Structure 1
Amino acid sequence: MHDFDIAPNPVVTGKAITLTIRAETKKVLNGSDVKLDLSRSSLFGWVPLPCVFHFGSCTYHDSCTLLKRMKDENWGGMMADIITQVDSYFSMYNIDLTCPVSKQSLTISSMNVSLPHVPSYLSFLASGSYKVHVNMVDRHTKEQTFCLDLEFSIA
């Protein structure tokens, strides 16, 4: 990952965000497990959030089918629309994430994604400051394939 930017910060639910991504795969990827650690700022410091309805600190098995599952199952009642928007940008930029994912460069400037309002059952994620750690490990070799740390706020 060379560059990853989210604007505006803080993110406002029900509004659009703009993503800029510049990355490359340096080897063929044939399926990874994705571990996401999400923490929220509180009076007591950073508090890890549990995995609820596929949101929070979760482990997602098989990255080859992850986006399809998020869309088909409409995780959290809001992911189908988001993934549809992201898929259209991937198509426009000729980015193929079909496994095995070949070595490739990925550059997307100003990807606009409309965010839905957060459903009431996920209201614990509705506002605040967050830290995210994403770690991907190859399912076969157990080798780390991706790591990302970021901080953002939701207004």
Structure 2
Amino acid sequence: MKIQFGDKGEVSWDVLLKVLEEEQLYQQQQQQQEHRKDDCRSHLRSLLRKCCGGSWLTLVLLVIVVILSQAWLVFYLLSCWSSFYTPAGHVVFADSQGNLRHIHFSWSNCGSASDPVQLMKLNVSPDPVMLEGNITLDLNSFIAQSFDAPISVDVKVERHIGWFWVEIPCLDGLGSCHYKDVCELVPFPPDEPCPDPFPRFKLPCRCPVSKGHYIVNNGVFSIPEIVDLLPAWLVSGDYYAHGIAHKDGKRLGCYKVYASVSY
């Protein structure tokens, strides 16, 4: 069966039905979308009446509070994550002037008991380390064999900034550096005696390093002149240092140190 549409010619009944069905389906979809919009509006109005007394301003303030709460939670988790990487024994206290001070000097052995260089005790005070004043040192170490140049050392230095530990690059021979031979860094001429306080505590000041038991009890060191030699990045703050020494491919020792620096 065909239907005549004026000058446009004949159209089959099947085609006409298909067009009508498509148009009806389109209208149904439009009606469904309108119903969904009406449902959303109804739910929103109901939610607004229940939680905010019908006030849009109250709803906006509630959303702001939720966003701020989520932001606080993120910062809190970041702070917890940072403290997880802070050494045990980290204590913050207020001094007599009300300034916050950090006490968390600590060290650990990252090598093994078979390493030739063994550190049994290392205490430094005051804490934070005051570079412009005196430093009191307690040291107990044992060197199983004598060593001469070259002694290579790899050092990694990080500074605590905000919630993160940021690695300090090697700048002018300081920071996270690889030293082919630390014996070359010794500033004392080989034909001159070691300056104080090395002879006072019977400590070596240059290579070769003799084997032996080195002990310092309440050793007081005055190093105010070191401030003029410090790089610009070494400001007051919390630092982490990891050092490992080798001789002819054999590890001599590996140690980690956390310290607060102030001047």
TM-score (norm 2): 0.47
Map Cα deviations across residues 15-74 of structure 1 (whole Å, 9 max, x no partner).
111121110111222231122111000124111101222221122232333323xx57xx
Provide the secondary structure at the position in 1 that maps to 2:197.
helix
Pairs within 5 Å for 1:94-133: 94-96=202-204, 98-116=206-224, 118-119=227-228, 122-133=231-242
Q: Kindly indicate whether residue 251 of structure 2 is the aligned counterpart of residue 137 of structure 1.
A: no
**Percent of pairs identical after alignment?**
25
Pairs within 5 Å for 1:37-56: 37-56=156-175
- Unpaired runs of at least 5, structure 1: 73-83
Bigger Cα Rg: 2
Instruction: Report how many aligned residue pairs link the two structures.
Output: 139
Rounded Cα–Cα distance in structure 2 between residues aligned with 1:134 and 1:3: 17
Question: 1:41·1:128 contact (CA, 8 Å) conserved in 2?
Answer: yes
Provide the secondary structure at the position in 2 that maps to 1:135.
strand
Rounded Cα–Cα distance in structure 1 between residues aligned with 2:223 and 2:208: 29
User: Comparing both chains, which one has the higher relative contact order based on Cα–Cα distances under 8 Å and sequence gaps of 6 or more?
Assistant: 1
Q: Kindly indicate whether residue 165 of structure 2 is the aligned counterpart of residue 26 of structure 1.
A: no
Q: CA deviation at 1:111?
A: 2.2
Matched residue type, 1:153 = S
Q: Higher helix share goes to which structure?
A: 2
Question: 1:118·1:126 contact (CA, 8 Å) conserved in 2?
Answer: no
Q: Which stretch of the first structure deviates more once superposed, 102-111 or 114-123?
A: 114-123
Rounded Cα–Cα distance in structure 1 between residues aligned with 2:214 and 2:157: 25
Q: Kindly indicate whether residue 261 of structure 2 is the aligned counterpart of residue 154 of structure 1.
A: yes
| Distance 1:48-1:94 versus aligned 2 partners, 3 A rule | same
| Residue 13 (structure 1) aligns with | 131
Q: Higher strand share goes to which structure?
A: 1
Rounded Cα–Cα distance in structure 2 between residues aligned with 1:57 and 1:118: 19
Q: Kindly indicate whether residue 113 of structure 2 is the aligned counterpart of residue 4 of structure 1.
A: no
Q: CA deviation at 1:101?
A: 2.6
Map Cα deviations across residues 80-100 of structure 1 (whole Å, 9 max, x no partner).
xxxx9x842321233345544
Two-structure CA RMSD over aligned residues (Å): 2.6
Q: CA deviation at 1:2?
A: 0.8
Q: CA deviation at 1:149?
A: 0.7
Rounded Cα–Cα distance in structure 2 between residues aligned with 1:100 and 1:12: 31
Question: 1:36·1:56 contact (CA, 8 Å) conserved in 2?
Answer: yes
| Residue 50 (structure 2) aligns with | none
Q: CA deviation at 1:131?
A: 0.6
Q: CA deviation at 1:120?
A: 9.0
TM-score (norm 1): 0.76
